Amino acid sequence: MSDVGRPTRTECASSGPGCSADRYLDRERQLAELALRQHRAVGHDQLVRLEYSRHAIRYRLRGGRLQRIHPGVYAVGPGLLDQLGRWYAALLATRPSPVLSHLSSAAKRGLARERGHVHVTTASRSTRELHGVTVHRTRRLDPADVTRIDGLPVTTLARTLLDLAETLPFDRFERIFEEADRRKPLDLEDLRACVARNPGRRGLKGLARAVDLYLPVGDANEGLEWTFQRLLDEEGFPQPQMNVLVAGLLVDCYWPEASFVVELDSRDFHTHWAQQERDRVRDATLLRVGVTTLRVTHRRMTRERYELVADLASQVPRA
């Protein structure tokens, strides 16, 4: 039983001259640790740094202990790589300084599915084609557009959205944009800075369109109030009482003759479940005293204006 896990004579011979059992086992342990960190993907240069000879690498390829994934990139052990392994393999194959981008960056954030290919952006001029990898080449990738998530280099959220605006149909890009904002309100300053760093990109138009459609004019409720009052005037609705107390609650818009309240929800409305619960309690309190509440966002005013006007007209008569 003492021989279990010890290298065979053939394995030692394939590792090159001067190989001892202890050295062999130490090298195998280091390879196992590397494969664990990189989800089984390893580079040829990494194997060389671990002192694996060409003969040792070929021996493992013949025996199925290594699989060739891309030129100079292998999978340790049998079976397919998982998603993280495919990401590591693509990054190893596109060095130097590649980053996950586009749908792969969105997938890493849980915003979208990759749908097949791994997407990598690199400033390398290599024209090598890789199976299962879409390589996006750029003249320069600004360091401010790169971050790390769980150790993987990825494009920042702002750069990812800009890339997707350039490569996806607008309806699909918009869904990813909305999901990103739903999870955490988008930082307009980050978006503006990314746009400034990447002039002339085709995605700028799609990104600007999404911002105009989805985000309010300003973060403060004053901007929403102004926009809503203008909508009421254009559609012939009477102006409500603004910021008044109803049943002990301060409401945004109130039509006393219709017992109707409109609450204007800014981008911060959906940032935390506790805020949503408090708003539901407010709506229920008003309902108990016979007051109907309608919540209105900037998105509804811009994207769903026809339906919003119909909702308002069901409660407040138009002039």
**Which whole number is the average pLDDT over 53-57?**
93
Assigned domain for 84 exists: no
Assigned domain for 167 exists: yes
Can you give the pLDDT at residue 251?
Answer: 92
Exposure string of 4-28, with b = 16+ CB inside 10 Å and e = fewer, is eeebeeebbebbeeebeeeebeebb
Residues 19 and 61 occupy one common structural domain: yes
pLDDT exceeds 60 at position 6: no
- Residue 168 is part of which domain span? 94-214
Residues 51 and 99 occupy one common structural domain: no
* Confidence grade of residue 189 (pLDDT, cut at 50, 70, 90): confident
Residues 264 and 300 occupy one common structural domain: yes
User: CB-based contacts of 147: which residues, under 8 Å, 6+ apart?
Assistant: 153, 154, 155, 156
pLDDT exceeds 60 at position 11: no
CB-CB contact of 40 with 85 (8 Å): yes
Reported as type and span, the H/E element at residue 263 is strand 260-265
**Which whole number is the average pLDDT over 102-112?**
95
Can you give the pLDDT at residue 272?
Answer: 53
The rounded distance, in Å, linking the Cα atoms of 41 and 49 is 15
Can you give the pLDDT at residue 268?
Answer: 52
* Confidence grade of residue 5 (pLDDT, cut at 50, 70, 90): very low
| % of the chain at pLDDT higher than 70 | 87
pLDDT exceeds 80 at position 12: no
Q: Which of 41, 76, 111 is the last residue of a domain?
A: 76
pLDDT exceeds 50 at position 315: yes
User: CB-based contacts of 118: which residues, under 8 Å, 6+ apart?
Assistant: 86, 87, 90, 100, 104, 132, 133, 134
pLDDT exceeds 50 at position 79: yes
pLDDT exceeds 80 at position 1: no
Residues 134 and 207 occupy one common structural domain: yes
Q: Write the CA distances from 86 to 81, 150, 156, integer angstroms.
A: 6, 15, 20
Assigned domain for 261 exists: yes
pLDDT tens, residue by residue, 239-274? 999 889 999 999 999 999 999 999 988 755 445 556
Number of domains into which the chain is organized: 3
CB-CB contact of 95 with 41 (8 Å): no
Mean pLDDT of the chain: 86
Can you give the pLDDT at residue 56?
Answer: 93
pLDDT exceeds 90 at position 60: yes
pLDDT tens, residue by residue, 130-176? 999 999 999 889 999 999 999 999 999 999 999 999 999 998 998 89
Q: Which of 155, 181, 214 is the last residue of a domain?
A: 214
pLDDT exceeds 60 at position 296: yes
